[in-house]
């Protein structure tokens, strides 16, 4: 079953994850040149004008979107129609969080399949 969110934004997010435009990172929405899958959605929200561009926090050496570096900020939730800052998906027969499977063991393409609901890994 597809992730419960705005279907047009879900399609954009999955296309961005599959595009090869974003390098996968872990531990934060954006780290250096890498992005968590949630960071990719945050970048799409920036491009749509729904949230502010990421700001680099030199003290902590991380990027933030509306003050968040770990999970989706409220502005991205509102824009995307998601209800959770770290949405759950079905993975290997269990419910788990996108940030967790982003950090290991799934690729962006596999995560896009989970978000689309077409594949349960």
CA of 66: how far to CAs of 5, 44, 73, 78, 82, in Å? Answer: 20, 14, 6, 13, 16
In this predicted structure, what is the pLDDT of residue 102? 96
Is-cis flag, bond preceding 9, omega within 30? Answer: no
Q: Residue ranges of the domains in the chain?
A: 7-116
In this predicted structure, what is the pLDDT of residue 93? 85
Q: Which DSSP helix (H) or strand (E) runs through 35?
A: strand 34-35
Strand pairing report for 23-24 and 34-35:
parallel
In this predicted structure, what is the pLDDT of residue 32? 81
pLDDT tens over the chain, length 121 residues? 788 999 999 999 999 999 999 999 999 999 888 999 999 999 999 999 999 999 998 888 889 999 999 999 999 999 999 999 999 998 888 889 999 999 988 999 999 999 998 655 4
pTM of the full structure? 0.94
Task: Report how far residue 86's alpha carbon sits from residue 47's, in angstroms, rounded to the nearest whole number.
Answer: 21
């Amino acid at each position: 079953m597809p992730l419960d969110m705005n279907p047009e934004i879900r399609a954009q997010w999955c296309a961005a994850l599959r595009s090869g435009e974003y390098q996968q990172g872990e531990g934060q929405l954006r780290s250096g040149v890498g992005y968590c899958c949630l960071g990719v959605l945050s970048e799409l929200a920036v491009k749509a004008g729904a949230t502010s561009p990421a700001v680099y926090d030199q003290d902590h050496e991380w990027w933030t979107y509306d003050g968040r570096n770990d999970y989706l900020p409220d502005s991205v939730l509102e824009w995307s129609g998601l209800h959770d800052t770290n949405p759950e998906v079905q993975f290997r027969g269990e419910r788990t969080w996108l940030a967790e499977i982003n950090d290991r063991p799934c690729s962006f393409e596999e995560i896009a399949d989970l978000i689309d609901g077409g594949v349960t890994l």
